[in-house]
Every structure is written in C-alpha cells, then in structure tokens.
Structure 1
Amino acid sequence: MSSKATQTQKLLLFRLSGNRLFGLGTLKIREILPFMHLTKLPHSHHAVIGTATFRGSAVPVIDMAAAVGYPPLTREEQEKASIIITDVQRQEIGFLVRGVQQIIEANWKHVTPPPKALGERAFITGLLDVDGDIIQLLDVELLLAKVYPESLNTDDVMLTDIQSGTLKSLNILLVDDSQVARKQLSDVLDRKDISYQVTSNGDEALQILLRDDELGRPIDILVSDIEMPGLDGYELTFNIRDNNALKQPYIILHTSLNSEMSLSYANQVGANEALTKFDAEELLQAMLRGTEHAG
C-alpha cells in the first residue's frame, strides 16, 4: 500500500449543560431536527421522553443530559432544543440536546483517551482539543446500555465441537474503546471458553500484534472497532497490512456505524470483513471464516 490510511471525520458539536462541548461523529447522524411533539412511552427509562415520528417510523427520543447524569431539560428548554436522529447499533435513536453548535473536521490521531480517574462510569471515549476548547466524545454504546440494559444481553450461539476447538486453538485479539462493546465481545467468547486478548485502543493493539509475532505466536484473528482515540481501526488495519514482515491476521472491523461508506472504506484499507454491531451469530461466523485464513 502506498498511501497513508488517514481519514478525517466530521464531528457534530453540541451542548448538554453549561458551556461543556460534546461531540458525535456525523456518520452516526441521520438528521438534526427542531424539537417536535413527542408521544409518551409508558414504563420507560426516565431519560426516554417519548417517541418522534421520523420518515414514517416511531423513534425513541432520549434526553441526553438526563441520561449522562445532568439535570433534564425543562419544558421551556426543550422548546429551544434539537433532536439528533442517529443510526447506531442497527437502530434509530433520537437524542435531545440543549444546543447544536457546529460541524468540524477531526483526525482520530488527535483524540486522546479520557483520564482513568474518570472511572468506568464516564460516558466519554475520548477528548479532543479544538482551539483551546476540550470536546468530549460521547460513548453512545454505554449511554444506550444504561437506558436499555437488556441490550447488553447477547444470544448464545451454537457451535460444533470442531468449530469451538478450532477457535480455541487461535490467538484472538479484541480491541474497542467502549467498555460496553468490550464486554459484549468478551461475553460471546467466554461462553464458549475461547481464550483471547483484549485492549481498549489501536496503539496497544499494534504493540500486542508486533510482540506476539516476535514471540512466534502471531495474532490469527483481530476484531477491532473503527472509531477509537489515537490509532483508529482504519489506520490500525493499514499499518498491519503495510508491514510485510508481520504474519497477517484475519481482520474484522466491527463498528456501531451503519454507514455504507464506513464499511466500504474498511475493505479499501485491507480489512477482510466489516460488521455492524452487535450480532453474536454474525461475529462468530466471521471469526470461523477467519479460521480458514489462519489455517
């Protein structure tokens, strides 16, 4: 490969409370709408304020401020707010935000992981400095898991003894900056007693790949998120494919984005497959296809 796999992404900046700026990748966004009449949903999470009609479908709307621990928007504030319609994890979800600011170009290499002091309950996956303003990138997967805890439940998948044994013999690496996604990935393999390594960012993943290759037990299958601080999934894939000395793993890019463009680009940088989160059956079937490559 002769060109660097650097893809800038557009981020929508918005506010939830006070002057703090938050960011969400525009590939997740279908549309931005002014506040509209919502239909109440009985027995729903306190942050779900109703459903909006979007292109003929009923879409749940979450008060994002309330979902992440800020005071919910008042009735008066709602009238001036915006609804961001997103397409993530195979579903359309609306997020009510206090105010939409602007759309900017961002390079994931400039995104830094959140400080560990924030703990695992922080709803951000990274920080980006834009002209002195610190943009917090929201962990939408964690937010949705808090509002819809049942979404964390992954279906068990039947494997034959031969399939299970084949996967157990491989060196598998999982990489995702979202703790929710890491848990979902881990649960699928834990149920089958399949061992694996897991990390939260592309830089560490690349070091593990290089280390294990040097130790003579190279990574056979890599399952990686796309949007990550530092080395994102695209560039991680490019760096692996551009290293002729490295035994090449079967690469599955695994993303909450439903965008055709993101999946197409995954193939361009050398990924074997690109899957939309989260379907345990699809993931294991992709890994089984990877066993043929490893063999």
Structure 2
Amino acid sequence: MAGVLDNVNQRTRLVGENRLELLLFRLGGRQLYGINVFKVKEVLPCPPLNAIPGRNPVVRGVAHIRGGTLSIMDMNQAIGKAPLEDIRSSFVIITEYNRTAQGFLVRGVDRIVNMNWSDIHPPPRGAGKAHYLTAVTEVDGELVEIVDVEKILAEAAPVNEQISEGVIEDGISERVVQKHVLIVDDSVIARKQVQRVMQSIGIQTTLKKDGREALNYLLDMVAQGQNPDEALVMIISDIEMPEMDGYTFTAEVRNHPDLKGLHILLHTSLSGVFNQAMVKKVGADAFLAKFSPDELARQVNDRVRAITGEDLLEQS
C-alpha cells in the first residue's frame, strides 16, 4: 500500500504511445475498479469528515486537506450501490476532473498497472444505458471496470451547460451549413455536453466513442471518395479513450495524406503543462480543458472564421 501512495505523483508523468497506467481499487465487494493515474493527485487514508447541510447524498462530507476544503464522494453510492461502511478504515482518491479537485471514498487501493489502450475495451453491449462504466479490461484474469467519473460528477455536481449571451456570433451556423463537427469521447455524458453546445450554435454533429472508431469513420469517408476536410468543421476529441487514445488518434490523422489537414481540438478533463506539451508533440491544433461551454463555443467561432477566411480579411 505504501508503494502505491508514494508513487502516484511520479507515475502521472507517464508518456507512452497509446499507453496508460490504471490505479486499481475496490469498493463494497470483490469487484476490481480502475481509474487513470493521470487523473489522480493523491491517495490517502480517509481523513475526518464534516457533514454539510443540503448536501447531495453521495457526498459523505468535506475534509480539510493540504490547507483546503474538499468534498468527499462515496464512489460505491455514486454508482448506485450501498454506502460504504466504516469509512474510518477506507481511503480517499483525490482526483482532478473538469478543472476542479474532488475526493472519492473507496474501500481499498490495490496497485497500479501499466497497460496499452488497445487492451481497454468499451463496456459490453448488454450493460444497458444506466451503467457507470466507460470501459472494461482484464488484469491477471480478473475483470476491471473503469468508472465514468464524468457521469458521476454530472449527477452529483452538474455544470452549467448554457453559452453566455454574446459568445455565439450571429449567423455562424449558416456559414458552414454543409459541414459538421466530429465529436470523439468515450463518456456518454461528455459527448452529449459537447453535442448540446454544437446544437446551441446550430452546427450538426457526428458522435464516436473512441479514437479507433473515429479513425475508421474518417478512413471510410476517404474510401468512399469523400474529402473529410470539406465535410468537417473540426474534430473535438477526448484524450482518454479505450482502443485508441486521443494522442494516438491525432498522430494517425496527421500521418495520413488525406486526413492530415483536419483541425483537431483535444478536449479533455486532463489538464496541466504536460498535456500542452503532448498537444504540440502529436500535432493537434488546440487543447481545451473540460468543460466550459463559452470557451468551446469560442473555439468553434474561431474555426469557422478561419474556414470562411474572415480572419484573413480582418488582417488585410
């Protein structure tokens, strides 16, 4: 256990080709769960929790950690199961999603494993729509379920999805009426959030759940004689995805002669200087941390202006 706690921070610096490291943990039973180490800031024994009035039921309380106050959510309860008992012997995984830090209460932390994204697969089709999984994998013969934390956060602490007045330029959708935006994200919640922003702007969308599926879609367009650059306004892609991550997807697009000119925005709950460096390394056009409807809308505004040549007209 000490090794897991001591090494989380250094392991978040992992840079690989379509690779990730999973922090494995358990909740109320024997089932093994996983979370990408990139999202983990710290793991510690559960500190004393203070109850807060009017809290969401999954928030067990707030804790004072490193001079700040952090909400601690019961991961087991958040995915629709019974609240964890004897939380004093439990652990808290402190994560950073969507520009904020939060703590998740878990029964115990197992270990960290290094894996290839190609070994991470979408949830089985029979899982239904109400599940809290973005992916599944297998470690040492044991099924590992990767939790859709973005879905948990959307239910426990919903974010504002409305675009502020004045952000969307008048008539922007009419300038690209024959084009659409390709949205690539393994989280159903995240895909719908981005789609709703595009709908507010008035731009059509196509949704894909991982980099492999998105790349195949683009290659099919080329095989059918279509020009993806003429059909798409841009691609908005997550980084963390099963089968093929956003970094690898971007690199594959840039290496293909018929795709290399596509505009790619990496839109992710991962944040920090590391990701900015990786965006430059793989050749993405921009990076945006989730989730700000206004900033996303501005990215689309800027892209449409570039397509229609308005930026060049203003500069001349």
Match of 1:46 in 2: 57
1:235 maps to a residue whose letter is T
SS at match of 1:205: helix
**1:1-295 maps to which residues of 2 (within 5 A)?**
6-74=17-85, 76=86, 78-148=87-157, 150-151=158-159, 153-156=161-164, 158-213=167-222, 214-216=225-227, 217-246=230-259, 248-295=261-308
Deviation sequence 1:99-142 (CA, Å, 0-9, x none)? 00011112111101001211121111111111211111110000
Distance in 2 between residues matched to 1:104 and 1:68, nearest whole Å: 23
| Kept in 1: contact 2:235–2:264 (CA 8 A) | yes
User: Residue 136 of structure 1: SS of its match in structure 2?
Assistant: strand
Over residues 49-80 of structure 1, what are the superposed CA-to-partner deviations in whole Å (9 max), with x where a residue is unaligned? 11111222111000101111221112x2x111
- Secondary structure at the aligned position of 1:159 is classed as coil
Q: Which moved more, 1:164-173 or 1:42-51?
A: 164-173
What SS does structure 1 have at the residue aligned with 2:204?
coil
Query: Which letter maps to 1:31?
Result: E
Any idea what the Cα deviations from partners look like across 1:162-199, whole Å, max 9, x if unmatched? 43333444332111110110110111111222112111
Structure 2: 5+ residue stretches without partners: 1-15, 309-316
Cα pair 2:168 2:298 within 8 Å, conserved: no
Aligned partner letter, 2:57: H
Deviations 1:178-234 (A, max 9, x none): 011011011111122211211112122112222334323443300001111101111
- What is the TM-score with the length of structure 1 in the denominator? 0.92
**How far does residue 161 in structure 1 lie from its aligned partner after superposition?**
2.1
Shift in alpha-carbon separation, 1:175–1:122, aligned structure 2, 3 A: same
Contact between 1:249 and 1:294, CA under 8 Å: does it hold in 2?
A: no
Give the AA of the match of 1:10.
Answer: E
- The amino acid that maps onto 2:217 is I
For residues 113 and 272 of structure 2, the distance between their equivalents in structure 1, rounded to whole angstroms, comes to 19
Aligned partner letter, 1:68:
I
Aligned-pair RMSD on alpha carbons?
1.8
Match of 1:41, SS state, is: coil
How many Å separate the matches in 2 of 1:191 and 1:272?
Answer: 23
Any idea what SS the aligned residue of 1:172 has?
Answer: strand
The Cα shift of 1:247 comes to 5.4
Displacement, 1:8? 1.9
Aligned partners of 1:27 and 1:259 also within 8 Å: no
Matched residues, percent identical?
34
Aligned mates of 1:93, 1:168 — CA distance in 2: 40
Give yes or no for contact 1:212–1:218 (8 Å, CA) kept in 2.
no
Cα distance in 1 between the residues matched to 2:289 and 2:276 = 9
Residue 292 of structure 1: CA displacement? 4.8
CA distance in 2, matches of 1:220, 1:121: 32
Gaps of 5+ in 1: none
SS of 2:232's partner is: coil
> 1:24-46 deviations in whole A, cap 9, x for unaligned?
11111111111111111111111
Aligned residue in 1 for 2:312? none
Paired residue type of 2:196: D
